[in-house]
Structure 1
Amino acid sequence: MVKRWSGLLLLLFVLACVAVEIQRCHSLEEEVEEDIMHPVEDGLEEEDELEDLDEGLEDVTGDPGSYSSSADVIAASKVANVNDQDVERVIAKYEFVLLLGYAPWCTQSQELLPEFAAASVQLSDLGNPTVLAKLDAVNNPSAAARYEIRGYPTLILFVNGSRDDYSGGHSREEIVLWVLKKTGSAITTILSKESAESFLSRNVTAVIGYFDNLDSPEHDAFAAAAKLDLDTEFVSTTNIEVTLLLSQGAPISSPPFIALCKQEPERLSVFGGSFNAEEIDSFVKLNKYPLVTVLNSKNANLVYASPLKLHLLLFAESKDDYVKPLYLEAARHFKGKVMFLAIDLKDEEFSKPMLAVYGLDTAKPVVAGLDNEDGSRYLLESDLTVESLKDFAADFYARKLPLYYKSDPVPAQNDGLVKIVVGKTVEKIVMDDTKDVFLFVHAPWCATCEKVGRNFEKLAKHVQDVSSLVMAKYDANSNEHPILMEVPNYPSLLLYPAGRKSSSPLLAKSQGSWKKLLAFLKENVAIPFPVKDGNDVADSEGRKETHIDEPAVTQQQQPELKDEL
């Protein structure tokens, strides 16, 4: 039961991230500034113009980081501007083509374009043969449809015309690294101290391999592993001084030696497994992230793809400085076991949907747990200290924590004709064994819930003097409880008879009027009560009871309900 609901939560989790991207890409209707979007070329309409690509489109060189603005980077780039007419010819002509499909009004596209342009310069300077091309997918719908560009931005690598969807990040460094690994050597070989110092100046996470020679089986396994991880740099050397420099003074052993070097206090993680590609790749994937990773819409897919499926989530603002050292200290004890993530509450487009998964709306730091394998959730409800964080993470890793279910706040006053039930009060109200409880389960997006709710209110007025019967309603969108995880559809009217709360509830099939609902109660309550016409509810034989776990009411039977309404 929990697993089925957890799957839905994972879907909500992914949809929340997707919604953030869609919102960002569709919030702007105006055209971007002309200087930023000025095309490198007006399209390659003639065959001879394709030859310009061999010469780089724009014969410029230099460090793209030295340009003063995004417009300067784009103007100095080697990006081909393609359209409906020539994109297919470009892809057919060149061995490697990285195509960017963008929309002029898309925020994410605007952010990516200068990074894409800078990557083109870096790849050219490195002698990489990949042609980078951009396509305005909005104004070139034929090409967009042909290459299935449905969202913006979309990156696709074509190798001899064969498609390979891009899976890397959106910074220039990430684009360059991904392309290099796909189109050339996946390893950078460094043999001099000068090259090592230049590499260190980039402050990147890297896998260092120290070998006796570069023709060994161990180096072959290292090279194969480098092809498996497309967003981490692999560096090999046979020079002990280079190795010491790259490891920044951390202890190293004799070759073959592999370590993961990160730009943070926990600098070096040393590989201790067998020298095969799979074990090296597993080691890298488990150790390449920082002790605490800032999670946002840009890196969410990469984080969720990690083999570390137990995620601890800290929701906090940058001003909450007191909690960050505590969180970092706790993270040191769970390397390779639990991924510690931080979400900035100021990033509301991302943080609010994430908080909604837990039914939370807070401006204060809060820590939660998510098992990204089955979607189960947990919440730290004690004060944030190093010890409480460590205890929570340890129990999380050992699967000892109680599952967390979201709940609206308990109403301060709840004396209406229809009681409000929230996640935290299901046991107290619904499972009260001394009462018959008739529960209206609804959701705010449910089209028929409003009318059924009015019928339910009319019934509540009719039976308001019946002390043995509780009329109650439950918002399934903002509340959760294990006994209400399998409600078949909304609205659902469930009767929990007194003295039989351990059995499945009874489901009212006829919801078209309050009188039909009253008839249902007459047949099924455990405690008979007098009605206004003076008759007692009979304890009739052969009652028509429909259990919630029976296939009597399904989504396919909704038209019957609509007919009665």
Structure 2
Amino acid sequence: MRLSAAVALVGLAATSMFAGVNAESDVLDLTTKNFSDNVKGEKLILVEFFAPWCGHCKSLAPEYEIAATQLKEAGIPIAKVDCTVETELCQEHGVQGYPTLKVFRDGEAVDYNGPRKADGIISYMKKQILPALSEVAAEDLVTFSQSDRVVVIGVLPKDAEKREILEKVAKKYREEFVFGVVEENPDVEGSGIVLYKKFDEGKNILKGDDFTEESLVEFIQTNSVPVMDEIGPDNYARYMDAALPLGYLFFSTPEDRTKFSAEVETLAKELKGKMNFVYIDAAKYGAHAANLNLKESWPAFGIQNVVSGVKYPIEQEGDLTFEKIKALADGVLAGTVEPSIKSEPIPETNDEPVKVVVAHNYKEIVDDLDKDVLIEFYAPWCGHCKSLAPTYERLGELYKGSEIVIAKMDATTNDLPSDVPFIIQGFPTIKFRKAGTTEYIDYSGNRSEEDLIKFINTNAVNKADVKADVEADVEAEKEEPVTADEIEHDEL
């Protein structure tokens, strides 16, 4: 889960908000009684599984309403299910957090991975109703090329072998872009691919039919993001998927942004395809600076390798200048700049049942190949992490003295080593590393003591005779549910 804007848990406010979504709403209310009839009877429908107390659900509600009204005109219904009432229905569909959105196509569900703003929801769902690759008539070419923010059109004869590659890419990326194919296009002589976009130069052309699936994907990812845009929850994933180093220019006033815009945008054009650059509004997302090891002092600039998570902040002693920005960008691409590693001090003693991991002792504890290691990456403000803490402590007690290590790491104050093959995208994240290997296994089951023990005993190379405290698990289930919505600031 990528984290987005959130608010505190306020049940009463949530209740009043959802009470406002009444008979006039274009969002369908689904229950156990009418779910099957509504979902299986539709070729395409979007369903939100929510809880009234959920902060993310409250933030989504007005956007969802706008999208429902506009998509109704396109014949695409939108619905919601209250999981505090329809508990069995939500369990049946594997709901483990809120909101969970699913797209049902002829009754079959897939996860919704699109934006949470109205425009993004509308665009995403309209793409779903189109074929992955649309055959475009010559007279419809102009209209089709302007139908979305980014439209990819192949210019290929009907019998061209490369149509198979284009269709394969279209099926893979249909949720993000509109794809079409036409036999002739005045924008390109002969065969090729034209990417139309409502920003920057308006279009990019890949001439000829000498492309592979990999080169076509690279062409689309390179050209489908603006030379420089303002980043937010709706386009964050696009930059992550581009897999290029990302330079963030934090600004708190229009003057800060204008001061650097001309020179930085020129640099962004020069480095297009090698590094992406974005503006980030510090008033909304200033807390994201900590993810680049920057202080909340503006303006500021830092670069992150979005694949490895490695960070390169500009030292904030002294004024930020374009010369510093350019030198950092050039150095990162040349490999001459050392990354910044954030770490709490190594604990003087670390003999508690749950081992405390920081950046500077990660390799010593987690990479000890003689041991099996279960490690939780948490955030101090995360409600789910707080709920898990007593269970996790009991787990540490049960395995204490064995060759199975139970560990935890505050991922908000410590960086992962650059060679770790994953990044943390939500809390808690629980990983297991088998003894003798560098393989990490994700834990995605229930966070009960019994289920965690089953997972460990199934995967561990070293063995320990450990049994769950069933009574403790029962008590834990009685606790009031809390969520990561308790975050008090906006994050991307």
Retained in 1: the 8 A contact 2:353–2:406?
no
Q: Partner amino acid for 1:315?
A: F
Retained in 2: the 8 A contact 1:226–1:281?
no
Aligned to 2:197: 262
**Shift in CA distance, 299/326, structure 1 to aligned 2, threshold 3 Å:** same
Distance 2:365 2:130 in 1: 53
1:140 maps to 2:124: no
Aligned to 1:328: 265
Distance 1:180 1:137 in 2: 27
How much has 1:145 moved relative to structure 2? 2.0
Retained in 2: the 8 A contact 1:191–1:239?
no
Distance 1:182 1:332 in 2: 32
Aligned to 1:158: 104
Question: Residue 379 of structure 1 is aligned with which of 297, 305, 313?
Answer: 313
**Shift in CA distance, 110/406, structure 1 to aligned 2, threshold 3 Å:** closer
Distance 2:110 2:144 in 1: 31
Q: Partner amino acid for 2:224?
A: K
Q: 1:332-354 deviations in whole A, cap 9, x for unaligned?
A: 1121211223322111xx431x3
Distance 2:357 2:292 in 1: 13
Where structure 1 has 5 or more consecutive residues not aligned to the other structure, the ranges are 1-13, 41-74, 244-251, 408-421, 424-438, 450-474, 490-550, 559-565
1:353-364 paired onto structure 2 within 5 Å: 354-364=288-298
Aligned to 1:281: 217
Distance 1:147 1:35 in 2: 25
Question: Residue 343 of structure 1 is aligned with which of 277, 280, 289?
Answer: 280
Q: 1:29-64 deviations in whole A, cap 9, x for unaligned?
A: 412346741146xxxxxxxxxxxxxxxxxxxxxxxx
Q: Partner amino acid for 1:224?
A: K
Distance 2:46 2:407 in 1: 50
Distance 1:190 1:89 in 2: 34
Q: 1:369-403 deviations in whole A, cap 9, x for unaligned?
A: 22222222212238544443333222212322112
How much has 1:256 moved relative to structure 2? 1.7
Aligned to 1:88: 36
Q: Percent identity?
A: 19
Q: Partner amino acid for 2:248?
A: L
Q: Partner amino acid for 1:81?
A: D
Q: 1:266-322 deviations in whole A, cap 9, x for unaligned?
A: 433322573454432332123211122433344434432x14242222222242121
TM-score by length of 1: 0.55
Distance 2:406 2:183 in 1: 68
Aligned to 2:9: 26
TM-score by length of 2: 0.62
Aligned to 1:222: 166
Aligned to 1:388: 324
1:31-430 paired onto structure 2 within 5 Å: 31-33=15-17, 36-39=20-23, 75=25, 77=26, 79-120=27-68, 122-123=70-71, 125-126=73-74, 131-187=77-133, 191=137, 196=142, 200=146, 204-211=149-156, 213-214=157-158, 216-229=160-173, 230-238=175-183, 240=185, 243=186, 252-272=187-207, 274-304=210-240, 306-319=241-254, 320=256, 321-347=258-284, 350-352=285-287, 354-381=288-315, 384-406=320-342
| Aligned-pair Cα RMSD in Å | 4.1
Further displaced range: 143-152 or 291-300:
291-300
Distance 2:67 2:82 in 1: 19
How much has 1:194 moved relative to structure 2? 8.0
**Shift in CA distance, 28/184, structure 1 to aligned 2, threshold 3 Å:** same
How much has 1:93 moved relative to structure 2? 4.0
Q: 1:156-215 deviations in whole A, cap 9, x for unaligned?
A: 122343321111223444334433444441345555778736864x6722223334x556
Q: Partner amino acid for 1:208?
A: I
Distance 1:227 1:233 in 2: 10
SS of equivalent to 2:283: coil
Distance 1:345 1:28 in 2: 29
Further displaced range: 113-122 or 371-380:
113-122
**Shift in CA distance, 115/365, structure 1 to aligned 2, threshold 3 Å:** same
Q: Partner amino acid for 1:109?
A: C
**Shift in CA distance, 145/476, structure 1 to aligned 2, threshold 3 Å:** closer
Q: Partner amino acid for 1:327?
A: V
Q: Partner amino acid for 1:357?
A: N
Distance 1:323 1:116 in 2: 36
Q: Relative contact order, CA 8 A, sep 6+: which one is greater?
A: 2
**Shift in CA distance, 222/173, structure 1 to aligned 2, threshold 3 Å:** farther
Aligned to 1:62: none
